[in-house]
């Protein structure tokens, strides 16, 4: 991104972040939903991609039901716009306070039990609700999560996001090349996190059935668990009707013999993720090209 474009973007995001810093949560929820509905009318937030993915993944929905899901998802995207804006607030420690006020984490006893095994903990998570708040709530609870992510451009944007994450106790392992960082964390008994609902091209991704489609799916959770002996915990978040982001850590996933077979283990993870999305379909990232190169299962 050129300097001429970068400077106005910096000021725009900082101004937006300052503005949302003083918005009551109820007002933010109202404005976010309205923005989402408007975006659907004008073709924003990649509504066509979302509609195509919904039709492919949930053919059982009639046109009215599919349209209603698309509308709910557009409202969710509008809410995400406002929630993400808090990452750019120029007020020191604002994002940390925002998370503490609007997120509730449950299930930490499952993490504590898994951590006591001494081999580290691997979380796999979906893009449901506000995923930055999901990681941040775990960080504030002392789980010290290491999340797999990418370096953002321009550099000032990556620095700002990284600082917000760090303020809540979240660190990053950057992809590509994240495996070495993750292995070091697990060998020290640490906690690492994967978002396991996006398309992953081979060799990191292998085919798994997802919403009735055979599509490349991240296999790193299974391979790392087999290599290190780390416990694997499912975790997800969602936004409840009052606007509170509920983050839930589930009991350790028992792979059994599936841990010895990357395809079987990855399929177990994919099925778990699909179950969450079916539970909260309006809050998933339908705009992602998850079904790239997919074929009917």
Query: Is the confidence at residue 2, as pLDDT, over 60?
Result: no
247 pairs with which residues across the strands? 105, 237
CB 39 within 8 A of CB 78: yes
Annotated domain spans of the chain: 3-296
* pLDDT > 70? residue 295: yes
Q: Which neighbouring-strand residues pair with 237? A: 247
What is the reported pTM? 0.95
Which stretch of DSSP H or E encloses residue 172? strand 171-174
**SS3 labels along 86-152:** HHHCCCCCHHHHHHHHHEEEECHHHHHHHHCCCCCEEEEECCECCHHHHHHHHHHCCCCEEEEECCC
More confident residue, 81 or 152: 81
When pLDDT is cut at 50, 70 and 90, the band that residue 215 belongs to is very high
Digit-coded pLDDT (tens) for 34-65? 999 999 999 888 999 999 999 999 999 999 99
Confidence at 9, pLDDT banded by 50, 70, 90: confident
Distance CA 26, CA 169 (A): 27
pLDDT digits (tens, 9 = 90+) for 159-208: 999 999 999 999 999 987 789 999 999 999 999 999 999 999 999 999 99
């Amino acid at each position: 991104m050129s300097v001429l474009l970068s400077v106005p973007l910096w000021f725009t995001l900082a101004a937006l972040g300052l503005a949302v810093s003083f918005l009551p949560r109820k007002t933010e929820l109202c404005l976010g939903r309205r923005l989402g509905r408007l975006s659907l009318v004008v073709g924003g937030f990649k509504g066509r991609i979302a509609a195509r993915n919904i039709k492919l993944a949930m053919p059982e929905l009639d046109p009215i039901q599919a349209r209603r899901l698309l509308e709910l998802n557009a409202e969710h995207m509008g809410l995400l716009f406002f929630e993400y804006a808090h990452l750019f607030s120029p007020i020191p420690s604002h994002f940390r306070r925002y998370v503490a006020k609007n997120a509730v984490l449950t299930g930490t006893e499952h993490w504590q039990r898994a951590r006591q095994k001494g081999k580290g903990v691997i979380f796999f998570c979906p893009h449901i609700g506000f995923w930055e708040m999901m990681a941040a709530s775990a960080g504030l609870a002392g789980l010290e999560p290491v999340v797999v992510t990418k370096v953002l451009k321009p550099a000032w944007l990556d620095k700002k996001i990284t600082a917000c994450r760090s303020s809540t106790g979240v660190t990053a392992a950057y992809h590509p090349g994240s495996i070495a960082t993750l292995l070091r964390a697990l060998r020290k008994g640490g906690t690492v996190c994967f978002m396991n609902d996006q398309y992953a091209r081979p060799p990191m991704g292998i085919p798994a059935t997802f919403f009735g489609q055979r599509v490349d799916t991240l296999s790193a959770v299974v391979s790392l668990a087999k290599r290190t002996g780390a416990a694997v915990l499912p975790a997800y978040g969602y936004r409840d009707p009052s606007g509170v982001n509920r983050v839930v850590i589930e009991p350790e996933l028992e792979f059994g013999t599936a841990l010895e077979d990357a395809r079987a283990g990855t399929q177990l993870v994919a099925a778990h993720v699909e179950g969450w999305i079916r539970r909260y379909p309006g809050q998933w990232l339908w705009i992602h090209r998850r079904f790239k190169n997919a074929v009917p299962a």
